[in-house]
Amino acid sequence: MGFSKRQHLLDNIEALRIAFTLEKEQRNATVGERLSMKQYSGFGGLKFVLNPIANEIDINHWRKTEHDLFPITLELHKTAQRKVRRR
């Protein structure tokens, strides 16, 4: 099985959501949550997450081969922004 940018990104988003939830609820992770969090592997292979994403028109600055990742990357940014706003 090869490297899937899409799956890598989805796994990382899920791990971040779980971590934020655990922090908010001040509790330990369940076995299932721990397994999901183990899928987190950083964003080193996902350089596109640094591309502009403020507006839908920003997709024009992305590689065409990564256009399908734009909505998921937007989800990542929204997840991170919600965390920042809570503080």
> What are the sequence ranges of the domains in the chain?
5-86
Token pair of 58 as six digits: 């920003």
- Backbone torsions φ then ψ of 52, nearest 5 degrees: -60, 145
The pLDDT value given to residue 23: 94
Digit-coded pLDDT (tens) for 16-61:
999 999 999 999 999 999 999 999 999 998 999 999 999 999 999 9
Is the CA virtual torsion 67, 51, 6, 11 positive or negative?
A: negative
Q: How confident is the model at residue 86 (pLDDT cuts 50, 70, 90)?
A: low
| Residues ≥6 apart with Cβ < 8 Å to 33 | 18, 22
Asked if pLDDT for residue 3 goes beyond 90, the answer is no
**Residue at token pair 């099985």:** 1
Mean per-residue pLDDT for 80-86? 75
Instruction: Collapse the DSSP code of 63 into the 3-class scheme (helix H, G, I; strand E, B; otherwise coil) and give the result.
Output: coil
